[in-house]
């Protein structure tokens, strides 16, 4: 069985080898490129289902490769970065990356991110009912149920939760969330976001102090996880 084709763009042979073994043993077809230029060519020729792109490439910065890819490539791109620099990650996410992983990463995490990214390929917000374990979100009727009981949400809380649910598994940056929910004039007013995240957690999480749905990505944003 073949789970899809993945293109790896990374200059480090060891990392490529590791990714290749990990992905092949999980039934993915793997293509590899060692430079940005080669990566762009291979992406155009093979049109893979997902691209794993390293930010520190020798010939051209990963950021600019990402921009060039995004001119025509609409499927998932996951960024690999050694720099644990949050700014770099936020920049890549704002430029259209779907997700990120910081080296050194755990294999389980890598596979989870790939699966979640692949789920989103092609399914552009046409689901109206989002079902995740104990939580159901009906986007047409605007009803949210937890353990089959309707929970009352304010307008803003619902807008925020619906936005998360439509982007299940994906990191949403602080700025993106503020812009989408409160409008472009409020992108620096993160205090609103903090307050509403805390309120949402109290309503949808079993233990708001150990959230399993609304996960904090330190310095970057939040991620909504449906099924654990």
Partner 1 sequence: MLFDIFPVLLSALLSALIWDFFFIPPHFTLHIGSTEDVIMLLMYFVIASVNAVLTYKIRQIAKVARDEEEKANAVKLYNILFNSLSHELRTPISTIIGASDNLLNDRNKISERNKQELIHEISQAALRLNKQVENLLNMSRLESGFIQPKKDWCDVHELVHSVINQLDDVLKNHTVIATFSDKLPLFKLDFGLMQQVLNNLISNAATYTPDGSTITIHAGINKSSSVEKFTLNIEDSGRGFPETEIEKVFEKFYRLKDSKTGGTGLGLSIVKGFIEAHGGTIILTNVPEGGAKFTIEIPSETSYLNSQKDE
Chain residues binding partner 1 by CB under 8 A are 86, 104, 154-156, 174, 190-192, 194-195, 197-199, 209-210, 216, 218-219
> Strand locations in the chain, DSSP E?
5-9, 29-33, 50-54, 76-81, 99-102, 129-132, 135-138, 143-146, 149-150, 171-173, 214-217, 221-224
Q: How far is the CB of 108 from partner 1 (least distance, A)?
A: 13
Is residue 181 classed exposed, middle or buried when 0-12, 13-18 and 19+ CB atoms within 10 A define those classes? middle
* Residues in Cβ contact with 200 at an 8 Å cutoff, skipping those fewer than 6 apart: 153, 157, 160, 161, 214
Query: Which token pair is 163?
Result: 């936005």
Q: How far is the CB of 111 from partner 1 (least distance, A)?
A: 17
Q: How far is the CB of 194 from partner 1 (least distance, A)?
A: 5
Is the Cβ of residue 122 or residue 219 nearer to partner 1 in the bound state? 219
CA atoms of 60 and 41, how far apart (whole Å) = 14
Is the Cβ of residue 13 or residue 198 nearer to partner 1 in the bound state? 198
Is the Cβ of residue 150 or residue 198 nearer to partner 1 in the bound state? 198
Is the Cβ of residue 14 or residue 191 nearer to partner 1 in the bound state? 191
Is the Cβ of residue 194 or residue 227 nearer to partner 1 in the bound state? 194
Beta bridge partners of 131: 136
Q: How far is the CB of 35 from partner 1 (least distance, A)?
A: 27
CA atoms of 172 and 183, how far apart (whole Å) = 15
Q: How far is the CB of 153 from partner 1 (least distance, A)?
A: 10
């Amino acid at each position: 069985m073949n789970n899809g084709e993945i293109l790896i763009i990374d200059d480090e042979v060891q990392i490529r080898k590791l990714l290749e073994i990990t992905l092949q043993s999980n039934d993915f077809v793997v293509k590899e490129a060692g430079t940005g230029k080669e990566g762009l060519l291979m992406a155009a020729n093979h049109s893979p289902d997902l691209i794993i792109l390293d930010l520190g490439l020798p010939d051209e910065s990963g950021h600019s490769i990402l921009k060039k890819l995004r001119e025509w490539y609409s499927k998932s791109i996951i960024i690999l970065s050694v720099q644990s620099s949050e700014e770099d990650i936020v920049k890549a996410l704002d430029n259209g990356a779907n997700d990120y992983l910081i080296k050194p990463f755990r294999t389980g995490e890598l596979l989870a991110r790939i699966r979640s990214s692949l789920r989103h390929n092609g399914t552009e917000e046409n689901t109206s009912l989002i079902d995740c374990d104990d939580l159901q979100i009906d986007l047409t009727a605007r009803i949210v149920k937890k353990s089959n009981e309707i929970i009352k949400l304010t307008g803003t809380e619902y807008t925020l939760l619906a936005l998360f649910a439509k982007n299940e598994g994906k990191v949403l940056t602080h700025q993106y969330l503020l812009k989408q929910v409160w409008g472009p004039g409020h992108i620096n007013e993160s205090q609103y976001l903090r307050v509403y995240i805390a309120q949402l957690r109290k309503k949808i999480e079993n233990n708001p102090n150990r959230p399993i749905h609304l996960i904090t990505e330190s310095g970057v944003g939040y991620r909504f996880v449906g099924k654990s």
